Amino acid sequence: MKKNYILLFFIAFFLSLSFQAQVVVGEGTVVNEEMPIEPFYKFSYSQVIYLANEINASGSITGLKYSANAETDLANSDYWDIWIGHTSLSSHGAQFVDISELTQVFSGNVTIANQVVSITLDTPFEYNGTDNLMVAVNETSNVNDAYDSSTHDFYCTATTGVYRGLVTYTDVAVIDPSNVTNTPQTRESYANITFEGITQSCSNAQAVTVTNVTDSTAEVSWTSPNGDSWEYIVLEAGESAPGESDTGTSVSTTYTTLTGLNDVTSYMVYIRTVCSSEVSGWIGAGFTTDCAQPMAIPFHEGFNGDAADPANTTMPAPSNSADCWTVIDNSPSTAPSNQGWVVGSLYAPYEGDRSARLYTNFNVGENDDWLISPQLNLTGQERLKFRVLSADANDLNHMEVLLSQNTNDPADFTEVIVENSQFAAEWTQITVDLSAYSSASYIAFHVPPSSQDGNSINIDEIIVEVTPSCPEPTNVTISNLTSSSADASWVAGSSGETAWEYVVQDASLDAPTGSGTAVSTNSVTLSGLTQGGEYDFYVRADCGAGDYSPYVPISGVYFMIPPVGGVCTDPLIVTSLPYNTTDTTANYQDDYSGSAGANCGESAAYYLNGDDVVYAYSPTSDTSINISMTPDATYSGIFVYDSCDDIGVECIAGIGVSNTDERVFDMNVYYGTTYYIVISTWASPQSVGYDLSITENTCSDPVINFTVNACNSATDEYTVDVDITDMGSSTQYTVSDDLGNVQYAQAAGVLTFTFTGTQSHIITVEGDDANCNQTYTAISACQSCFASGMNCALGDGFDAVVIGDIDNSGSGCSDGGYGNFTTMSTDLAQGETYDLTLTTGYGNQYVRVWIDLNDDYVFSLDELMVDNYVIASGSGSGTFTETTQVTIPSDANLGSHVMRAKSNWNSAVPDDACEVTSFGETEDYMVVIVESLGINDVELSDLRIYPNPVDANYVTIKSPINGDKYVKLFDINGRRVLSTTISGDILDISSINSGFYMVEITINGYTNISKLIIQ
């Protein structure tokens, strides 16, 4: 079961209790905090800290009271064990306090009346009035073996930034407080409680309420039974609460206005009563100030969270203004894959740990998405800087930047400050002059409709600041790396400066502050560099008269002069063949990116994104070579080019695939040409280890065609023809199979091999030269075909297929996109409908399911059980689980049949169950069609039968519906073999033989039919 945790802060609610000797701590109305108990689970345990200044009394605590909502009845949650103890803790850590440090004060049944649980302690607790108190409650009731509704709950008070509660809950077994095995969960709140038997001589303030909150002010009010004056203290959330010796601001009224607050900041305000000779405890209430209207300049936004690495963070972390941005999605309802801007996306930030991102892939350009800044106080002296990234170089994103001097309604954004255009697939800094605007304004990053949908676009490091007198250069880049040099270039700042100074230095040194090398062009060749050396490059503008901009680095990272083999201009030389080596691309660096290029073999897109190594081979004659690369990780490729300029443009040969199989191919090479062999990855992983082998083919390949003939269903036999049409350079061939059968060929002709059954077999052809040997795997014609070679490595296909007794959860991506799970089986009855639950790791999966009811090894359209059901329509990467139904035809052939599930990403599954598609998966299972029982199945929700299968004399039948259970047991022929009534959960099956049964269970008129296997 799942539970949503929604904190409802400071809803007006007042709970009045009128006892004389009592202390009330907490008047909040926060729910879903699982304190003191969690009624929605069978068992729960909590420890809650109450501060001494909140209690503000001492003496013998004789009872406790907790306040609950109107729905709470404790029907299944009424047996409590309670402990109390003194503690020095003011907030919880990650683990429960040892129960031996507390004293048990109560054990028994509790009741609720008028939303209050009143408990008289078995053993009164003597509270010293100085230490904090910890109250632990363990709910152990299991009389009904059930739990209460999700709407049942107790009221709590928020303590923003301070963990006052620790909870755990389960349906499995009673929690042992001396040995809690479940991981506890912290809560920034405490359960409202009344301590009976003690009283405050100087009463605490009550009903502390914060209203009319702005960006810098808030009004706070409270009630107080006594006192001549009051004091208040305001602290940022998470700071330690004030103690008795702390002094606050004195007021003579039960209300005050707080001023001088920071915008978008969480606070706690504490109030205490000042009596004639003593003071009360501090009572707190939390609140968060609004966004400033307008926000002050300079304004810095990186949307960062609290996990940002300081070494790679230039914006505030965590951001205190990310919640002040407005996201508006005006995309039409027809948009097929619509998503809005995500503020605080973890995907590919430029700095820190987050950015703003809009995913547009598969939305066919039907976007109208707005990311709107807070109101900014422009004075005509500012500029805007931001960084932008398109995720896919082959599918760039469009965006425009607009400004409104009125409201943040999209209709008011009439000023275009960045024209609608495409942005590069690398982080680019954009600078915009805002000197034309002198008013409170909003800035909008708008992705409008487009003919090209793009993949996704990121925004980061947004800065609005006063334009400096000497603007710095932007987009500093390094290119054309050689073994001793590199080219640096940059874009002039907004004032169009024409003079700069640059510094190139060892990457271990601090950023420069003094003079650099002066240049009058915005590019320079850096020479005399050391191979393998790591360098920083900085450049600053020289605006004359001693006015310089700050130094700007290359995206804040160093560059490295590549080792031999790092780039095409300085490759590893293959001097002679055969050539064999073992290496890893991690020994080089990432110098190329994007697609391998045209004619680069299977799935070559993006396969230059990781670390790269380059080999060069110049043949001494025209010949044929074999290139083999075996990787130690997935997503790698090897590609051959005939010039350095062609890398990433067009291949001579190559292959890039997601598996770890050998990448091998033959190619013709010619004297006078140098061939460049590049090994790289898809960039996840960044590098790959490999074995590389390059050999010369010393023979002329034969021409051999292999044909698998149709299955003879009467004998379950099939034949394979080996048709040698050209002997090549070999004079004879030995042709053998993996069963030991051998035939010989000394001339062109056809050899035939006969096989039986569903197993595949390997046929080997060996000639005079091993380089020309061939092998062929013959897939049995006496089985269903399968679609091998589909890609499910990105999450496409199935991570779980669940129907009946088949539960293939966590199966992951099958090798080659085909999974044979025919050892997994379930019985399905004629005419019955079953839930089919499917899990995928990538959305927009179309699914077809067949059952080969006539056992002809062909999945025909009249055998479709599920026809192009779509899982997570329009979604991208993620985990998605959906349930559809499979209805078995009432005349389906009885017995065992193969069930095939096939998925295809982004389009319908083909009619041919064997057709290979780019992304998806095919999985086969076995089902057994049995006769229908002829029983109407009326759903009884959440019925549980266990163990199942069962090899003992008893089985447990559990249901959330109370009442006697009328049980009928039917065998596979529909005959009733047992009819009984049980008042508990235990069914005696000791007299029933082993086998498959259907169980009909009726409780209070509700009926459920379930499967039971007795072993």
Does residue 941 surpass a pLDDT of 60? no
User: What tens digit of pLDDT does each residue of 821-851 get?
Assistant: 887 888 898 888 899 999 999 999 999 999 9
Looking at per-residue pLDDT, the higher value among 643 and 21 belongs to 643
Joined together, the tokens standing for residue 369 give 């998405």
Question: From start to end of 727-817, where are the E strands?
Answer: 733-737, 742-745, 749-756, 761-766, 774-778, 800-803, 806-807
Determine the Cα–Cα distance for residues 593 and 649; give it in Å rounded to an integer.
Answer: 11
* Assigned CATH for 206-288: 2.60.40.10
pLDDT band at 133 (very low <50, low <70, confident <90, very high): very high
Sheet with 806-807, side-by-side order of all strands = 806-807, 800-803, 833-842, 877-887
pLDDT band at 376 (very low <50, low <70, confident <90, very high): very high
Question: β-strands 572-574, 613-617: how paired?
Answer: parallel
In one letter, which amino acid is 1012? L
Burial tier of 485 (Cβ tally within 10 Å: 0-12, 13-18, 19+): middle
Determine the Cα–Cα distance for residues 743 and 723; give it in Å rounded to an integer.
Answer: 13
Integer angstrom CA distances of residue 628 from 268, 607, 654: 67, 17, 10
CA angle, 801 as apex, 799 and 803 as ends, to 5°?
Answer: 160
User: What tens digit of pLDDT does each residue of 9-46 get?
Assistant: 333 333 333 335 899 999 899 998 999 999 988 999 99
**Architecture of the CATH domain 572-697:** Sandwich (2.60)
pLDDT band at 1011 (very low <50, low <70, confident <90, very high): confident
Determine the Cα–Cα distance for residues 861 and 868; give it in Å rounded to an integer.
Answer: 12
User: What tens digit of pLDDT does each residue of 424-473 get?
Assistant: 998 999 999 999 999 999 999 999 999 988 999 999 999 999 999 999 99
Average pLDDT of the segment spanning 680-695 = 91
In one letter, which amino acid is 151? T
Determine the Cα–Cα distance for residues 511 and 561; give it in Å rounded to an integer.
Answer: 20
- Residue 561: per-residue pLDDT: 86
SS3 770: helix
How far from the centroid of its chain's Cα atoms is residue 7's Cα?
24
pLDDT band at 942 (very low <50, low <70, confident <90, very high): low
Determine the Cα–Cα distance for residues 93 and 95; give it in Å rounded to an integer.
Answer: 6
Does residue 615 surpass a pLDDT of 90? yes
Joined together, the tokens standing for residue 363 give 């939305």
The predicted model scores a pTM of: 0.55
User: What tens digit of pLDDT does each residue of 386-424 get?
Assistant: 999 999 888 899 999 999 999 999 999 999 999 999 999
Do residues 284 and 311 lie in contact, with contact meaning Cβ atoms separated by under 8 Å?
A: no
Matching CATH topology for 474-560 and 800-930? yes
In one letter, which amino acid is 796? D
| Among the listed residues 467, 394, 389, the one whose alpha carbon sits nearest the alpha carbon of residue 429 | 389
Strand partners of residue 986: 956
Burial tier of 882 (Cβ tally within 10 Å: 0-12, 13-18, 19+): middle
Looking at per-residue pLDDT, the higher value among 871 and 244 belongs to 871
- Residue 5: per-residue pLDDT: 33
**Architecture of the CATH domain 800-930:** Sandwich (2.60)
Question: b/e per residue, 907-943, with b = 16+ CB within 10 A?
Answer: eebeeebbebbebbbbbbbebbbbeebebeeeebeeb
> Phi and psi dihedrals of 545, rounded to 5?
55, 35
Integer angstrom CA distances of residue 626 from 70, 529, 663, 693, 809: 78, 37, 11, 8, 41
Give the CATH fold of the 299-466 domain.
Jelly Rolls (2.60.120)
- Residue 967: per-residue pLDDT: 85
pLDDT band at 954 (very low <50, low <70, confident <90, very high): confident
- Residue 939: per-residue pLDDT: 39
- Residue 937: per-residue pLDDT: 36
One CATH from 2.120.10.30, 3.40.50.300, 2.60.40.10, 3.90.45.10 for 944-1014: 2.60.40.10
SS3 587: helix
- Residue 3: per-residue pLDDT: 34
Strand partners of residue 762: 777
Range 22-196 has CATH code 2.30.110: no
- Residue 556: per-residue pLDDT: 56
Cis, bond preceding 685 (omega within 30 deg of 0): yes
| Among the listed residues 724, 885, 886, 901, the one whose alpha carbon sits nearest the alpha carbon of residue 798 | 901
- Residue 6: per-residue pLDDT: 32
pLDDT band at 112 (very low <50, low <70, confident <90, very high): very high
- Residue 787: per-residue pLDDT: 67
* Assigned CATH for 703-778: 2.60.40.10
Determine the Cα–Cα distance for residues 427 and 442; give it in Å rounded to an integer.
Answer: 24
- Residue 700: per-residue pLDDT: 76
In one letter, which amino acid is 619? P
CA angle, 357 as apex, 423 and 371 as ends, to 5°?
Answer: 90
User: What tens digit of pLDDT does each residue of 188-232 get?
Assistant: 999 999 999 999 989 999 889 999 999 999 999 999 888 789 999
Dihedral (Cα; 573, 575, 578, 582), 10-degree rounding: -30
What stretch of H or E contains 396?
Answer: none
Locate the domains of the chain by residue range. Answer: 22-196, 206-288, 299-466, 474-560, 572-697, 703-778, 800-930, 944-1014
User: What tens digit of pLDDT does each residue of 524-579 get?
Assistant: 999 999 988 889 999 999 999 999 999 999 865 678 888 899 999 899 999 999 99
Could you identify the residue written with the tokens 């069963």? 739
Does residue 2 surpass a pLDDT of 60? no
For residue 391, is it left (φ>0), alpha (ψ between -120 and 50) or beta? Answer: alpha
| Among the listed residues 373, 368, 367, the one whose alpha carbon sits nearest the alpha carbon of residue 404 | 373
- Residue 315: per-residue pLDDT: 95
| Among the listed residues 364, 426, 420, the one whose alpha carbon sits nearest the alpha carbon of residue 392 | 426
pLDDT band at 378 (very low <50, low <70, confident <90, very high): very high
- Residue 961: per-residue pLDDT: 62
How far from the centroid of its chain's Cα atoms is residue 278's Cα?
55
Determine the Cα–Cα distance for residues 724 and 741; give it in Å rounded to an integer.
Answer: 18
User: What tens digit of pLDDT does each residue of 908-919 get?
Assistant: 999 998 888 889
Integer angstrom CA distances of residue 184 from 7, 34, 77, 137, 176: 19, 11, 20, 14, 13
Average pLDDT of the segment spanning 960-987 = 72
- Residue 11: per-residue pLDDT: 30
- Residue 986: per-residue pLDDT: 83
How far from the centroid of its chain's Cα atoms is residue 800's Cα?
17
Question: β-strands 864-871, 845-851: how paired?
Answer: antiparallel
Average pLDDT of the segment spanning 512-529 = 95
Give the CATH fold of the 474-560 domain.
Immunoglobulin-like (2.60.40)
Residue 52 is given by DSSP the state H
> Phi and psi dihedrals of 403, rounded to 5?
-135, 140
Integer angstrom CA distances of residue 364 from 96, 329, 394, 535: 53, 16, 15, 43
Question: β-strands 663-669, 761-766: how paired?
Answer: unpaired
Joined together, the tokens standing for residue 501 give 């100074």
Does residue 758 surpass a pLDDT of 80? no
Residue 892 is given by DSSP the state P
If one counts every other C-beta atom within 10 angstroms of the C-beta of residue 576, the result is 10
Does residue 946 surpass a pLDDT of 60? yes
Q: List CB contacts of 275: < 8 A, sequence separation 6 or more.
A: 201, 202, 226, 227, 228
- Residue 470: per-residue pLDDT: 94
In one letter, which amino acid is 312? N
Determine the Cα–Cα distance for residues 933 and 921; give it in Å rounded to an integer.
Answer: 34
Joined together, the tokens standing for residue 694 give 């390059």
- Residue 240: per-residue pLDDT: 86
